[in-house]
Amino acid sequence: MVPEEENDGLLDAERHQARHTIAARAQLFPVAEKFVSLNGEGLAAGRPAAFIRFAGCNMWCTYCDTRWANHPLVEVEGWSVPQLLAWVAETGVSCVTLTGGEPLLQPYLPDLVQALLSVESPRPLRVEIETNGSRDLAPMAHLREACAEAGLSGSLHFTVDWKTPTAGEAVSAAMRRENYDVLDDRDAVKFVVGSADDLAFMEARADEAALWDRCTVLVSPVWGAIEPAEIAAYLIEHGLDRARLQLQLHKIIWPNESRGV
- The angle at the Cα of 42, spanning 37 to 43, to the nearest 5 degrees, equals 105
Binding residues: 38-40, 53, 57, 61, 63-66, 99, 101
CA 39/CA 43 separation, integer angstroms: 9
| Strand 29-38 with 77-79, pairing | antiparallel
Beta strands in 171-246 (DSSP E): 188-193, 216-221, 243-245
Binding residues for Mg(2+): 66
Binding residues for S-adenosyl-L-methionine: 63-65, 101
Single pTM value for the model: 0.88
Determine the CATH number of domain 27-253: 3.20.20.70
Q: Which tens digits make up the pLDDT trace of 185-242?
A: 999 999 999 999 999 999 999 999 999 999 999 999 998 899 999 999 999 999 999 9
Identify the burial level of 205 via C-beta atoms within 10 angstroms of its C-beta, where 0-12 means exposed, 13-18 middle and 19 or more buried: buried
- DSSP three-state, residue 64: coil
Binding residues for [4Fe-4S] cluster: 57, 61, 64
Tell me which of 12-26, 85-99, 223-237 is least confident.
12-26
Binding residues for substrate: 38-40, 53, 99
In this structure, the number of other CB atoms found within 10 A of the CB of residue 242 comes to 12
